[in-house]
Amino acid sequence: MENYILDVECLTKSFSRFKVLNNISFKIKSGDFFGLIGPNGAGKSTLLKILYGIVIPDSGSIKIKGLNLLSDYKKIKYSLGVVPQDDNLDDDLGVYENLLIYSMYFGISRTESLKRSNELLNFFDMNEKKYSKVSDLSGGLKRRLMIARALINNPSLIVLDEPTSGLDPEYRQNIWGKLKALNKNGVTILMSTHYMEEAEHLFKNMIILHHGNIVLQGNINDITLNKKSLEDIFLDIAKN
Ligand SMILES: Nc1ncnc2c1ncn2[C@@H]1O[C@H](COP(=O)(O)OP(=O)(O)OP(=O)(O)O)[C@@H](O)[C@H]1O
Ligand SMILES: [Mg+2]
């Protein structure tokens, strides 16, 4: 039997009478670097917010490691890391404190949390920012801190909503390097992006959403096979 870390079946969500997700089904294997792309308003963030547990779907099922997201969220949160599209760091606190406080949400012991926070600051090259206030960080460093925070509980699956949007190429590539290293170490990644270059560089498998429907899914090499670039495929889809 295939080892799926995430199994989404027939997911539907409407806001008022507007259908934002229409019968979405896909599976992600453990160890995958799985991409989600689609034009503005396609439903990407809504789908990811359902996985974070902050938007409740109208129907469908989501299983993470075989557990049902809606009924077993308390267990699932220990293996899930989330990086939302909008910065939700605590601006009044320092970098280190943001990590330490977040770790309390998982009941991590103080000793473990200090150790883990230091390791993460090290991994994200943020040691010298340890005692800086979050409000003094650049956009790129805030984004790195958000990813670091999402890793505090050693998740096996991380879900990121456009983690590199608005960053300059250097910061973007720095984040690519970190995500690739995490994936190489066995962390499964589900991530959305608007950058086709990023998609081609990172993703192994992906889905393309448009008006709440999956219009294309599969292995990135199969998707781009015999075609122009992913950029052209995307533009063709977005025109319809
Ligand atoms: N809470 C909400 N109430 C009403 N409509 C919403 C809500 N959240 C999202 N929508 C609508 O659902 C649609 C999909 O939004 P969503 O944020 O999921 O798209 P997206 O693919 O993430 O877009 P972007 O690329 O701009 O981030 C949009 O039309 C949006 O206006
Ligand atoms: Mg979005």
**Residue from 11, 13, 17, 20 whose mutation best tests the ligand 1 pocket (most atoms within 8 A of CB):** 20
Look at residue 1 in the predicted model and tell me its pLDDT. 55
End-to-end CA distance of the chain: 38
Q: Which ligand gives the minimal distance to the CA of 46?
A: 1
The strand pair at 59-64 and 67-68 is best described as antiparallel
Percentage with pLDDT > 90 across the chain: 82
> Locate tokens 């779907």: which residue?
57
Cα(71) to centroid of ligand 1, in Å?
Answer: 25
20 lines ligand 1 (CB under 6 A): yes
The answer as to whether 11 is a domain residue is yes
> Locate tokens 């650049």: which residue?
138
User: For ligand 1, atom 29, which residue shows the shortest CA distance?
Assistant: 41
Domain around 223 = 4-87+159-239
pLDDT surpassing 90 at residue 227:
no
Q: Which ligand gives the minimal distance to the CA of 50?
A: 1
Note the pLDDT tens digit of each residue in 136-175. Answer: 999 999 999 999 999 999 999 999 999 999 888 988 999 9
CATH number at residue 196: 3.40.50.300
Long-range CB pairs of 108-115, under 8 A, 24+ apart, other chains included: 108/152, 108/153, 113/152
The answer as to whether 133 is a domain residue is no
Percentage with pLDDT > 70 across the chain: 98
pLDDT surpassing 80 at residue 39:
yes
The answer as to whether 112 is a domain residue is no
The answer as to whether 111 is a domain residue is no
Task: State the closest ligand 1 atom to the C-alpha of 45, by its place in the atom list counted from 1.
Answer: 22
CA atoms of 229 and 171, how far apart (whole Å): 24
CA atoms of 15 and 211, how far apart (whole Å): 13
pTM, entire model: 0.95
The answer as to whether 130 is a domain residue is no
Main-chain phi, psi angles of 155, to 5 degrees? -70, 155
- Dump strand ranges (E) for the chain: 4-15, 18-29, 33-37, 59-64, 67-68, 80-83, 157-161, 188-192, 205-210, 213-219
The answer as to whether 99 is a domain residue is no
The answer as to whether 140 is a domain residue is no
Look at residue 235 in the predicted model and tell me its pLDDT. 83
43 lines ligand 1 (CB under 6 A): yes
